[in-house]
Homo-oligomer: A and B are copies of this chain.
């Protein structure tokens, strides 16, 4: 249906394009394509191979071809890929929703492993890709790339895109794996962006120990202060909503305030040159732990689904756009005289990505396994392969960073820069489509049956059809963890063997004694009429 509208639009766009009407045309086209992606994604839900990301990418590519043909090879892009659009509008809802919907217990239980993969792993991957790029590309004479460019390449191709894998993994069947892949994805995004910014701001050719230490210090400062800002923004929102009790007058104010405060945390982090990704992620976690419990029931349902929907649409938008942008003829013109070299560069990069990821997933998994006692907490070999595979795709973050590095000063006409842009597009398309298509079958082979069903009895949150309206994910999880808490300390052996549980135990004591009375949260919300959760919860305090 949307395709029908699309062809009408395209027929008209030819005559109108270039006038002030052209933005209306491209918006129509984009919105219609988004609708098309959603409908087709729904129809392909049961498919063995496809998922929403690949569908959007494929539709974007097809649209690019159609536009290329109708405009006679002039231009395929109706919207110019803008970093502003990506980093200011599309990325925030995705990352915030990630924090908001994450199963906090699983996430913090595996926090050290996630940080190991996300931060240390990304640095290893960055080092291998940078060194590999220096080694291979210097021999190939592909234009004038500086040391900063090579390091930027390392950062660009360390930024994974685990959306495809997360769409396939089941949060209930494989909670450990899911939280690892998911958590690593977020920390990896943040690490790659922070690395990239650090590379751009430091005077790299004249590196010495002081600068290297500054680099590390800067990195740690960004990590810690970004996290703190996100936590503070989340707590502020919880405090305001609890104190002023917005639900008394209007649910809309609550929802609006949550969205705006989350967005404010992101923009404030940008303002202070911090890692906005980390900030908004932790803001999401804090909001789901405190703020979400302070609002009315309608607001809870609304925020939960509205955030998920925003994130969902932003994701499709990005893949659609990357698909359409890939066929922009201008980018390919400069490198069209040496297609072999372009393919070579992309192949080398893909190889480096494969090696760079293998070089940290398997060793770090072994290290992580050493610290775990319980066999269910260990990462077996099949799971290691899945984690390795999950981070092979490259996506919009890589694209945005590549555009920033290689087109920022307008010198795309330089051979080296043009080559890197087209190679990035090739790597993103190839990894998303080819690796992405193989994800579903691969995971079915590696993780054949619903196993590892450990703690969680929650239904999968993003598809909450069967969930009774309100006592969903968040409450169930907290409810269960409360129950576990009460029985756990009796078993001293288990208590000693899992130090992260000890931290968790003291955190919960602190949370119940100080944080929740001040910031609200389950069990400390003001009285909301008709809330059935109230009474059940109080008994656990």
A268 CB contact (under 8 Å) in B28, B257, B306, B462: B28
A253 CB contact (under 8 Å) in B41, B252, B253, B267: B41
Query: Are A257 and B465 in contact (CB-based, < 8 A)?
Result: no
Shortest CB-to-CB span from A313 to chain B, Å, is: 5
- Give A246-281 as 1s and 0s: 1 = Cβ < 8 Å from B's Cβ atoms: 111111110111011101100110110000000000
Give the number of chain A interface residues (Cβ < 8 Å). Answer: 69
The majority secondary structure among interface residues of chain A is: helix
**A residues 38-88 touching B (CB-CB < 8 Å):** 38-39, 41-43, 45, 84, 88
- Give A450-470 as 1s and 0s: 1 = Cβ < 8 Å from B's Cβ atoms: 000000000000111111111
Contact partners of A270 in chain B: CB under 8 A = 24
Contact partners of A305 in chain B: CB under 8 A = 251-252, 255, 298-299, 301-302, 306
Given the complex of chains A and B, what is the CA–CA distance between A251 and B301 in angstroms? Answer: 11
**A residues 460-510 touching B (CB-CB < 8 Å):** 462-470
Report copies per complex.
Answer: 2
Taking CB as reference atom, which chain B residue is nearest A245?
B42
Query: Are B312 and A240 in contact (CB-based, < 8 A)?
Result: no
Binds B, one of A29-37, A196-204, A325-333: A29-37
CB-CB under 8 A for A5 and B268, given A240-B39, A302-B305, A530-B468? yes
Query: Are B244 and A43 in contact (CB-based, < 8 A)?
Result: yes
A297 within 8 A of partner (CB): yes
A296 within 8 A of partner (CB): yes
- Give A223-252 as 1s and 0s: 1 = Cβ < 8 Å from B's Cβ atoms: 000000000000010001000101111111
A465 CB contact (under 8 Å) in B296, B301, B308: B296
Q: Which residues of A contact B (CB under 8 A)?
A: 1, 5, 9, 12, 21, 23-25, 27-28, 31-32, 34-35, 38-39, 41-43, 45, 84, 88, 236, 240, 244, 246-253, 255-257, 259-261, 263-264, 267-268, 270-271, 296-299, 301-302, 304-306, 308-309, 312-313, 462-470, 529-530
Offer 18 A-B interface pairs, CB within 8 angstroms, sorted by A: A5-B268, A12-B271, A24-B267, A28-B268, A31-B264, A31-B267, A35-B264, A39-B244, A251-B463, A252-B308, A252-B462, A259-B309, A259-B313, A298-B464, A302-B304, A302-B306, A302-B309, A465-B529
Known interface pairs A298-B305, A306-B309; 19 further A-B residue pairs with C-beta atoms within 8 A, sorted by A's residue number:
A5-B268, A21-B271, A24-B88, A25-B271, A27-B88, A27-B267, A31-B267, A38-B256, A42-B250, A247-B465, A251-B308, A251-B463, A255-B305, A256-B313, A259-B309, A301-B301, A301-B302, A301-B305, A302-B309
